[in-house]
Structure 1
Amino acid sequence: MAEFSIGHRRYRTKGEAKEAVREVLYQYTVGSIVDQEDDHLLLLDLLDMHHEADDKIGPGVEAFAIAPPQRGTYPGFEVIRTDGSRIDFSYQTCLKPPTYRQQVMNVMRDEAKSAINAFFESRRAAGSLVSDQSGTPLNSSNTAVSYFQGPSFVDIAEEFAKTVGGWEAIELTPSTEPGLGRFKARDLAERWFSHHQERAVLGLLSSQENQRRPRR
């Protein structure tokens, strides 16, 4: 059976991924905040997989909480946004197969990874590992490269898709792993990389600051 991914985490099956999420759900009591960083990051990546992720995230994610059952006897997850508003989301919905747009966008992120890594290494070599938002000194384990100073990654990707005829015009190599693969046409991959380089305005944030940014 094909592997299943939630962010960078890979599971042998979709069932194994579901069990990892359920472990987070049931280790907290109803009404409590998900306060372990690894659990919080898992839920951030899981929420990104929701087909209404932008609406669920809104201005940004402050935290996650365990919501009481809405139907039946089982609790669920609730997003606490940075403006104080709250909204529930179904982890079952998040685990449904990704749309083709989501698959292409995941490949785009992977194709742009070398540029992200190069930016981080250049800042570290220059001795400027500080938050571009707060000026807080950072270290390698507490640093995130973010698009917060310019167009979001989603905006950059959607602009590119429009220039080549839409998402369906971007063919991917076959893959047994949801959302993974490569551009089938390497010249198109190079065009995407150049487009990303031209449009991305990268900056550094602490991991905590980045967690609170809208996930786009």
Structure 2
Amino acid sequence: MARQPIVLNGKEFKFQKNAKEYFKQMLERYRNGQTVDTDDHEMLLALIERHLEADKKIGCGVKCFYKDRTDMPTSCFWIERKDGSKTDFSYLTAIAARGKSLYQEFVEACRNAVQDDLKKIKEQFFKKYADETGKVKCDITGEKVAIYETHLDHKKPLTFQVLVNTFLAANEVEIKPEMLSMSQDGQFQTTFLDIELKEKFKRYHYKMADLRIIKTELNLSLGGSERILKSKNPVIIPKELFDD
């Protein structure tokens, strides 16, 4: 069966990638806090109808669309409803017309559970090992890099997703919606509602993770063919984080 084009407000996109580029460029045209103009408003109104949570996002009706920041270093489209309430929405999710799977939501909750501690661990590593210019060596290239140029990498074979999968298997966890936060206005990341499970994953992660500092662009380019070598300067997780 041939893939159907996406038609929004009379404009046809043959492939999803074309629609993604169109709305990416639209978002980039606005500054944070700026309301979109009439033509873009009509396109976004058509787009939001594709969202799996369209009824919830639209609520009592759309007053306007605008661009603003998320709780991460990114921006997205927001809706101000007619009653003054506001919510974010992802144009990528709306274009795809599907949301994250329950498994993907669980992985996101796991990342969210450890991200604050990992940020502190990275800062402590730089404080201890950085040279007089504030730089340490990338574990792969040996190049000196500053903290803002780096990623705290979960070294293969224990990638973050592998840690999540082995945690699920070892603890015979069956993922259920009630374990996780439900989608709500302004919520950009899924979190654990089951605090005991959250703490259990955190302890498991800290015991098992093999961390290293690498250049950010290397994190994006590493493929399955990467050789598994011992880290030159592993990032040690403080023992108190995983003591029972």
Return closer, same or farther for 1:109/1:150 CA change in 2, 3 Å cut-off: same
Over 3 Å off, 4+ runs? 7-10, 13-17
Alignment of 1:1-216 (within 5 A): 1=57, 9=74, 11=76, 12=78, 17-18=90-91, 92-93=95-96, 96-128=98-130, 129-162=136-169, 163-168=171-176, 171-176=179-184, 180-214=189-223
Letter in 2 for 1:157: V
SS in 1 for 2:161: helix
Give the deviation of 1:131 after TM superposition.
0.6
Alpha-carbon distance, 1:206 to partner: 0.6
| 1:161 CA displacement | 1.8
Return 165-174 or 143-152, whichever deviates more.
165-174
Q: CA separation in 2, counterparts of 1:148 and 1:141?
A: 19
TM-score (norm 2): 0.50
2 CA distance for matches of 1:165 and 1:8? 32
* Unmatched 5+ stretches in structure 2: 1-56, 59-67, 80-86, 131-135, 225-244
- Equivalent pairs: percent with the same residue? 12
Give the aligned residue type for 1:183. Answer: F
How far apart, CA to CA, are the structure 2 residues paired with 1:195 and 1:137? 31
Larger Rg: 2
The count of aligned residue pairs is: 144
SS in 2 for 1:167: coil
Q: Which has the higher contact order (CA 8 A, sep 6+)?
A: 1
Please, what TM-score do these two structures have when normalized by structure 1?
A: 0.55
Match for 1:96: what amino acid? R
Return 5+ residue gaps in structure 1 as ranges.
Answer: 22-48, 50-90
- Deviations, residues 23-81 of structure 1 (Å, cap 9, x unaligned): xxxxxxxxxxxxxxxxxxxxxxxxxx9xxxxxxxxxxxxxxxxxxxxxxxxxxxxxxxx
Offset at residue 10 of structure 1 (A): 5.2
Provide the C-alpha distance between the structure 1 equivalents of 2:88 and 2:122, rounded to a whole number of angstroms. Answer: 35
Equivalent position amino acid for 1:135 in 2: G
Q: What RMSD in Å do the two structures reach over aligned CA positions?
A: 3.5
Mapped partners of 2:181, 2:149: distance in 1: 34
CA separation of 1:122 and 1:146: change in aligned 2, threshold 3 A? same
CA distance in 2, matches of 1:208, 1:144: 9
Q: CA 1:116–1:138 in structure 2 vs 1: closer, same or farther (change >3 Å)?
A: same
Decide whether the 8 Å contact of 2:102 with 2:177 is kept in 1.
no
